[in-house]
Structure 1
Amino acid sequence: MAPPATRTALLGYLAAISLLLHCLLPSLAGADFVYNGFEHAANLSLDGSASVLRGGALRLTHDSNSLMGHAFFDSPVQVVRGNSVISFSTAFVFDIVTVDHGGGHGLAFVVAASKALPGASYGIYLGLLGENTNGNSSNHVFAVEFDTMQVRRLNETDSNHVGVDLNSVVSNVSEPAGYFDDDDDGRNISVKLESAQPIQAWVDYDGRTKVLNVTIAPVSVPSRPHRPLISRAIDLLPVFKREMYVGFSSSTGEKLASSHYILAWSFSTEGAAKAIDLSRLPKVPKQAAPPPSLSTVIEITASSCVATLVVIAAAIVLALWIRRRAALTEMLEDWELDHPQRLPYKELYAATNGFEASKLLGAGGFGQVYKGVLRCSGDEVAIKRISSSGTQGMREFVAEVASLGRMRHRNLVELRGWWQDLLLVYEFMPNGSLDEHLFGRAGAVMPPKPLLTWGQRVGILRGVASGLVYLHEEWEQVVVHRDVKASNVLLGADMAPRLGDFGLARLYEHGADPATTRIVGTLGYMAPELTVTARASRATDLFAFGVLLLEVACGCRPIDPVTGESLLRRVRGHHVSGDLVRAVDERLDGCYDKKEARLVLWLGLMCSQSRPEARPSMRQACQYLDGELEMREEAVLVFSDVDSLDVGSSAFLTWSSCNTMSGGSLLAGR
């Protein structure tokens, strides 16, 4: 037997080796976490419409149409070791709430190679995949879906089912939602996924036997059913990479929508997932009943008119009120059918404490913007109160509702709701507008915002470009924004850009020519051909985007407010002298990628050429920024003596930006 001193030395040596191995091999540690509610949850990455509500419920989508919401554990999880999939186990509680007798489309537990889920779409694709990616082996997506819609072209036989998806939303195996009762001879008891009651789910995969088990039951069931709803041998090795992201995805459809909640979540690759504490489940917000339809109000009024003269007098007043808004009502009719998000005035009044001055974010020619918190959901929003004087305010209101109200894109500000007295409700953008980060806020007493890094600037430009591609080419109609500028680019909590203010937008069919219209926009961003054609087109948006590229790269306004110097003319001079990157913002102190800076400046000049046919398309501009197209420095740029529709051309203006909302007016919601 070794002497005590020798044993002590040996134990110390072994402890040192153990500590060294622990430091050198951190990847061997598995994932093991549990969220009993999400109010103070860390290590979560949210995207799309996903948000954590007061009280701790994680809401993936609310009951608006055409939404996607994603929530992932922020760090990747090792799921493959050698040539084997590591066993994993997860349990979670979800709740699906619908206002009407049929919502959509469902939610899914997902294991994916990327949190971004490239190409994902709403509706039948559950935010997992898209029409162009569905079924591709390169997706590396595994999901267990809880689907509340039957889509026959996806071979679905039930509108209330649980399915297992491998790189496709066409499930490899699916079963009607239910569980096997342990106390009733194993009888299968149906579970309605849209019951508005919490349901617990368990997903377990045995890497050794390659068997997947999926079990569900209402939380009122005292224990987990012994027999799983789905038990199938599935080899996940071809689907999984070494490290994957775990989380949830959900979507709503174009006509049908539900609110999808995750209330608790446990996950482990070190054995069975920890049990969820059901006594700590957060409460789901009460779902407000839909407002009565206009036809119902008219019927009640008509019947009352027959009864008394008092009601007749009231009906006359009501008729005059309706007549004053007849034009607005007619133009909103189709949009209301698809997007029943009319918010009551008292809700918006309470959200802003009666539109008090302390809630004011900004003001301009068409009204004011207030910060508020909706009592029904706890969401922070920006509420735009358009001035009711004249017809121009109503025109802006209708333009925003008719366009932005039906569009969904990660780089467009989301219109959350409206009220007919010219009130628009947007998602709140906590980091304000891009121009505040570039130039500060005029007259502000708050400290200046941090200087944007070069990487942040390029990311913002790529996001704006992606949003404009959607408007110009990917939506059902061509949307010309007509006011692309730094103050209309809003920044979310993660500095992701969203293009806002669609009050000047114009829509026309693909393949059609835009009609002539009033010349509108902001000086310095307006294409020179507008004075001749009076036609706002995709090319005029390209010109404004080109100026925005130069503005962000140089950190200078399009027209210097002191000297009146044109930024476009100055950058063009650097290009001619062969020293283009000299125009880059001096405040960056050389901390930027020179090749990338040259590309951004060159593309800005390409987009702001005087001849519209010489400008690239918005998709080509996006491809240049993403590196899919090579910069052609030998290309001849076409310019004229007139940089843009500037002050010297103001005689042509009938409605200029001096009458639109001021530069930072939406701050966090325009």
Structure 2
Amino acid sequence: MPEPLHFMFLILFLFLATATSNSNNELMFNGFTNSSLVLNGIAQITSDGLLLLTNYTKEALGHAFYPTPINFIDPSSGQPKSFSTTFVFAIVPQYPDVSGHGLAFVISPSKDIPGSMPSQHLGLVNTSDNGNRSNHLIAVELDTVQTVEFFDIDHNHVGIDVNSLISSNSSTAGYYNKNRGQFVTLTLISGDPMQVWIDYTGDDMRLEVRMAPINATRPEVPLITSLVNLSDIVLDEMFVGFSSSTGAASGLHYVSGWSFSLQGTAQALDISKLPSIPHNRFNDKNLIGSGGFGQVYKGTLPKSSAKVAVKRISHHSKQGVREFVSEIASLSRLRHRNLVQLLGYCRRQGELFLVYDFVENGSLDKLLFDGEKPALSWSERFKVIKDVATGLLYLHEGWEQVVVHRDIKASNVLLDANHNGKLSDFGLARLYDHGTNPRTTHIVGTLGYLAPEISRTGKATTSSDVFAFGVFLLEVVCAKRPMEHNAQEDVLGLVESVLESWKKGNVLSVVDPNLECLFDKAEAELVLKLGLLCSHPESVARPSMRQVMQFLEGSMQLPELPIDNLGSSARLKSYGIAFDDFLATTLTDKIYGQINTINK
């Protein structure tokens, strides 16, 4: 081989050898997927690439160390080398205002710190070796519990620990904001990701610690500056990593990114590449609704960035686990374009969570009753009515079991970006097999939508759903709630109001004035009369949802209704029988290929 070529190979070999050597001194982890960290205790790498040092297990510890030792002593001078590191962490407490015990960046002579204990010891030392010079340990702690025996300054501090958990220097967690000219306190257990910078200069033995919220610039002024002589502390070879622990209170201790450099400045982390840190906090700014089960929040799935609605069922809900299980049993298997899709669910720490598709335009009631938003056009309202009817028909007849919704109202109808209507909130749903009697249960639902028979029997049926749907029809056309008060504080029922207008020969006078007469009069009259028919006090007089769809689609004409009897309690029963007779003699349904006569 020619001599120049030999020389080139030699240069290449030396370059590669140097690069390999430097790889132990330059560490970069934008997430920890496929990392080779040595994990001890309950530490783990999550499927999203997060380093999770501890979970909600009490009295536990977790360690994570880079597997290869690093030479901290300069062979020429025998003095400790300079180093620099930065990492992003978050502490998510199990309960809002208490967590334990914190985490620490640590330089240790071993990868497992044998004999170390959890709780206030942070997985660094134990009761007998705390303070021993033979520990050869230096750490920067992020401590969330004030421990009297270690003279902690508070329950939210950063400290420099040398062989001991009695910090040589410490400060309340926070940073100096140059623009504000003041110190800003950071809450370690807020669940928010924060970044820490640690720099040690070997020449002047200066150790500096900084921290700031994620995406903030590195503070110019250190949070802590301390003179630390590492000559008697670090050995020639040391391991770098993290330690964390829980005690009587627990929390999730995350690290999402980490950079380390020996004899240089740690590389900047690419914040955009770091895995998202989940937390169990629900910010009120993302609150999009409340119901009988709890509150509903807007959220984002970390991997797909898809928007979701999370229903958080609180301990103080009027309903409980049985209704929650009922909702899961129905929604997890139901699939229809006019139903809000349940994506997943879980029970955790006594709380219940449902994750739904996020529906962009929110609930129908806000569009009907919020004067600041443009009123829905008639065509949009009529389409939503048919969408809801289609979804309810599927619940009643289109699935393997009958699903009784039990709480149909405008606030439980959501509109997507194209104003397609979707039924939501199946928390009150109750399943029962075709051909069997529904089980008697406690009365649930919303005043103004409850069928009269429910107060007598306590039984919800498809017919009681039809009653609520009838009230819903009037609600959409009139843009009025079922029960409202006038200036004299008299309760005005929407059904009675529409019925009175019809008796006076001017049923269209109740149509929402925001439509400004821009509506199909025939369709509006059909919906109003159908609403009265569906909300008939006698269940036998109400149509099925299949018949409702036929009326709305125009494939069947709405029968002439005896208006004089609609509000008369004296002739209510005879009217119910008359309409039932009409159904039995004139209406047939073709269901699943069979002709079924509707009998009395």
TM-score, normalised relative to structure 1: 0.42
Larger Rg computed on CA atoms: 2
Q: Give 1 or 2: higher strand fraction.
A: 2
TM-score, normalised relative to structure 2: 0.46
